[in-house]
Structure 1
């Protein structure tokens, strides 16, 4: 599923209400907890160091 995170997929996962973690294969991951908390995590490298940024709703 690399590079294939779409609005339709995300809406279906949210509607199902189950915990899920799906990656696009390029460092971006969508996570949904069983309680309905959604987050996006971006993993990247800056100045040779691995970094991670998370946005939650």
Structure 2
């Protein structure tokens, strides 16, 4: 999922250099959204992993 973020950032950089401000802005926003989704999914999976990893003796 983070590879998508890097892809959209590269698209934004290239679009920004070539002068396509709208495309660059949209790509940055998409990259931000995907990044935050990835962070939330990571945190949820970490919490679930910690909760399931504990066993009661």
Question: Which TM-score tier does this pair reach, normalised by the shorter chain?
Answer: under 0.3
Q: Which has the higher helix share?
A: 2
Q: TM (normalized to structure 1)?
A: 0.27
Q: Which has the higher strand share?
A: 1
Q: Which has the higher contact order (CA 8 A, sep 6+)?
A: 2
